Amino acid sequence: MSSASLFDDPALPPPSRPASALAGAPGAVVPLAERLRPSSIDEVIGQAHLLGPGKPLRVAFERRRLHSMILWGPPGVGKTTLARLMAGAMDAQFIVLSAVLAGVKDIREAVERAQAARSTGLPTVVFVDEVHRFNKAQQDAFLPHVESGLFTFLGATTENPSFEVNSALLSRSTVHVLKSLDAAELGQLLDRAAALLATPPLSPGARERLLAHADGDARRLLNAFDHVASLAAASPGLDAVAEDLLERALGEQLRRYDKGGDHFYDSISALHKSVRGSDPDAALYWLVRMLDGGADPRYLARRIVRMASEDIGLADPRGLRMALDAAEVYARLGSPEGELALAQAVLYLAVAPKSNAAYTAYKAAVALVKADGSRPVPPHLRNAPTRLMKDLGFGAGYRYAHDEADGFAAGERYFPDGLAPQRFYEPVPRGLELRIGEKLQELRRRNAEAEAAPSFVPGPDVTPDASV
């Protein structure tokens, strides 16, 4: 099979052909990252948790059995490379779609090509880069063809697929988490690049700073080193690349990072936990770290909204409004002006009173509903828009709260018959929830008095909760 049938983009070398071979093409200027792209699984640096002996992707390669999957990880860790190698291992037609540029029409064309290939016995792998940028309709277009086995779906994303990929497509794919390269792995890659370009050696200080600059991103490392090598080549008699040359090569791009760098998902966790822990300075630090590292501010805005509901909740309902306003401001202004609004929201949430009562209550309610099954709505709570429904007793006996004292129908039941009243929500004694808790105690006291009164008759099969 020719490489043209394996790869759509002629600029993408097939896995069976070393990318470095393209370097000598007349007039071609091939980036260093492309020249060093692995041509076999054994050349891949990093991802030992997926590619080591007995690990999931290694087994898939060895058995030549590929499953639909989503490769999730930060930039420059080998998502596209692994997709190419897997398609090559299957001798499959490899169709590349960019979610930034492709639409439903492109998906239909890919389906048609896969159908044509199947008629000849040729399998197809469809690789979607930045799959999180596909909308729901575009993602749904894949579902019937993934289910039927028409093609194997490979998606790559830097965003958490739990938030960005439709649950239906997610359930049909295995998510593999790729990790940033550590300093040792980046060092191996740098040694390969230095051998290929035959540049003067880096001084220990320059090497350390270049690895820190890469921050776990192989592509970033190679692009930077390629520029350094060009400057070194223009300096005859240079014995070693020192830090001053490195600084000239990288300019303002050179930044200080913690050694080893943090993974994207670890950083967002640190931001969230700093807000939850009421440390505004640490929260601001992690926000800036993520922005500085290239995180999508829109993703951060969504996570900030989540923090407002999960960790502040009704202790200060203004926190959610603040988070939503910050997201809207960023959508209007973009970077860098809109990022200030995100910082303002993070600071507010960090200093706001904390409560996870709403979050805990929601999880408890979800757990009960899943375990308990579907109970019918009690007749007195049912809607009765027609005469027939009224004749059937729908809505009969319902007490309209606004007609009761203080707008509260003491003793009225709202849970299904046969299910004891539940207590999911327990306000914390902080912020607004301090007052909410006091009100709920009073309402529960009145409910208890109404139930104890002789005139109160509970609904059928109701076992009153003694705690109410």
pLDDT in tens, 115-126: 999 999 999 999
* Integer Cα distance of 218 and 190 in angstroms: 9
CA distances from residue 270 to 56, 274, 287 in whole angstroms, order as listed: 29, 6, 9
In this prediction, residues 372-379 reach a mean pLDDT of 86
pLDDT band (50, 70, 90) for residue 458: low
Direct distance between the N- and C-terminal alpha carbons of the chain, in angstroms, rounded to an integer: 74
Long-range pairs, 56-63, Cβ under 8 A, ≥24: 56/174, 56/176, 57/82, 57/86, 57/176, 60/86, 60/89, 61/85, 61/86, 61/89
Give 261's contacts (C-beta < 8 A, 6+ positions apart).
180, 212, 215, 216
CA distances from residue 438 to 238, 352, 460 in whole angstroms, order as listed: 76, 20, 31
CA distances from residue 232 to 43, 78, 135, 188, 205 in whole angstroms, order as listed: 27, 28, 46, 20, 16
Greater model confidence, 76 or 259 = 76
All structural domains of the chain, each given as residue ranges with its CATH number in brackets, are 3-177 (3.40.50.300), 183-253 (1.10.8.60), 264-351 (1.20.272.10), 371-452 (1.10.3710)
220 sits in which H/E element: helix 218-233
pLDDT band (50, 70, 90) for residue 265: confident
- Phi/psi for 21 (5° steps) reads -65, -20
* Integer Cα distance of 428 and 87 in angstroms: 54
195-245 pLDDT, tens digit each: 998 888 899 888 988 888 888 889 989 988 998 888 888 877 788 888 888
CB 358 within 8 A of CB 313: yes
User: Which of the residue ranges 49-63, 127-141, 259-273, 394-408 would you say has the lowest mean pLDDT?
Assistant: 259-273
In this prediction, residues 353-378 reach a mean pLDDT of 90
126-167 pLDDT, tens digit each: 999 888 888 888 888 888 888 888 999 999 998 888 877 888
Q: Could you say which DSSP state residue 25 is in?
A: S
Rg (CA), the chain: 30
Give 413's contacts (C-beta < 8 A, 6+ positions apart).
378, 421, 458, 459, 462
In this prediction, residues 335-361 reach a mean pLDDT of 93
Residue 13 has pLDDT above 60, yes or no: no
Q: Which amino acid is at 125?
A: V
Q: What is the mean pLDDT of the chain?
A: 83
* Integer Cα distance of 20 and 37 in angstroms: 8
Residue 12 has pLDDT above 80, yes or no: no
Q: What pLDDT does 457 receive?
A: 53
User: 156 - beta bridge partners?
Assistant: 71, 129
* Integer Cα distance of 251 and 245 in angstroms: 10
Q: What pLDDT does 146 receive?
A: 86
Residue 3 has pLDDT above 70, yes or no: no
pTM to 2 decimal places? 0.54
Q: What pLDDT does 130 receive?
A: 87
Residue 24 has pLDDT above 90, yes or no: no
The backbone region for 463, taken as left when phi is positive above 0, alpha when psi lies in -120 to 50, beta otherwise, is beta
Please tell me the number of Cα atoms within 13 Å of 311 on its side-chain side: 20
Q: In degrees to the nearest 10, what's the CA dihedral of 88, 89, 93, 99?
A: -70
